[in-house]
Chains A and B, each alone.
Chain A
Amino acid sequence: MGTKNVPPSIVQFALADKIINIGRANSLWPLTFGIACCAIEMMATGCARFDMSRFGAEVFRPSARQSDVMIVAGTITKKMMPGIKTLYDQMPEPKWVMALGNCAISGGPFAFEGQYSIILGADEFLPVDVYVPGCPPRPEALLQGIIELEHLVSDWKRWKDPEAA
């Protein structure tokens, strides 16, 4: 996880940290990094019907230096991999990675015997925080992934888990 490597501050403000983390969770800014089919579902999530801006995440930044989350949406090829690593290194801490779709989780339908061009999953070279399965995952699944990520970022939940009570 990205936040594990951040050294703790010299003076600890527990309440302020909590509030800052809740602020971070409610305004995750994704990097526009749609590679393939899952990118279309990501764009549909940002638009009117599924509306990612309810969760504060509709501000897609093209520049890696201004974003919090890298949503890897699509198949990663060996040709593209150095570019993705560069983008991840350019993002400032704290940062998170979401693997959207089967291709980013484990190569998806393109992992067959004798394949020569793709990398089997984003977690081969990136520390992934949330995995959202599907081919492509529904926009609702992406929203669930954002909510799970919010829980990872700050310990605050939007609503009570109905199965836990």
Chain B
Amino acid sequence: MICEQTKLALQKLFPPPEPQEDILEETDEEQDKKVAKKPRPNGLVERDYAVHGYHLDAQLDPNQLLEAVTILDEAEFFIESITGVDWIKDDQLEVVYDFARYDFDLCRVVIRTRVDRKEPAVPTITKIYDGANWHERETHEFFGIKFEGHPHLIPLLLPEDADFHPLLKDFKA
């Protein structure tokens, strides 16, 4: 099954999980608060398709991005969309890549990277997937994320001389 193969291929990008240390006795509430505040670590998670709508969810660093996308390109995925999410409370911007397949071997993969909100920069994947061109231009103009190596990073939907980024949470019209 392609899902298993892709999962194993993507798992190689991450170091193996460390063994759990002994945790002192804590009340349930304190444990919940701890889990809520910890940011999600880099890694591959399998999701319940019936609830979330996709199968694999990988969070990685921007410099691992090209490797992961090359794995998916060789496995014949198609690029569904690229978008951004503004996590203003964590002071980070997230870039989310969606991939899916054309054949009946159903597998939806989501790849995420998080970058700093003040100077967001992510390498471009237009060399691998041509269709990422417009998606990255749109993400750039709405969030201000720079895609390094993009051939033509000018606004797509807003007027050409627009210098504001509308989908940021602190944007005032």
Contact = CB atoms under 8 A, between A and B. Distances in A.
Are chains A and B touching directly in their complex (CB below 8 angstroms)? yes
A114 B171 CA distance: 9
A49 interface: no
Nearest to B160: A79
A79 B158 contact: yes
A114 B173 contact: yes
Contacts of A79: 158-159
Contact residues on A (Cβ < 8 Å of other chain), bracket: under 10
B166 A78 contact: no
Contacts of B158: 79, 117
Interface of B: 158-159, 164, 166, 171-173
Contacts of B171: 114, 116
Contacts of B173: 114-116
Nearest to A81: B159
Contacts of A116: 164, 166, 171, 173
B111 to A, nearest CB: 30
Contacts of A115: 173
Contacts of A114: 171-173
A78 B164 contact: no
Interface string A42-53: 000000000000
A77 to B, nearest CB: 9
A79 B158 CA distance: 7
Nearest to A114: B173
A114 B173 CA distance: 5
Contacts of B164: 116
10 contacts: A79-B158, A79-B159, A114-B171, A114-B172, A114-B173, A115-B173, A116-B164, A116-B166, A116-B171, A117-B158
Given A116-B164, A116-B171, 5 more contacts: A78-B159, A114-B171, A114-B172, A115-B173, A116-B173
Q: Which 8 A-B pairs have the closest CB atoms?
A: A79-B159, A116-B173, A114-B173, A116-B166, A115-B173, A78-B159, A116-B164, A117-B158
Interface in A97-118: 114-117
A61 B159 CA distance: 28
Interface in A50-90: 78-79
A107 B166 CA distance: 19
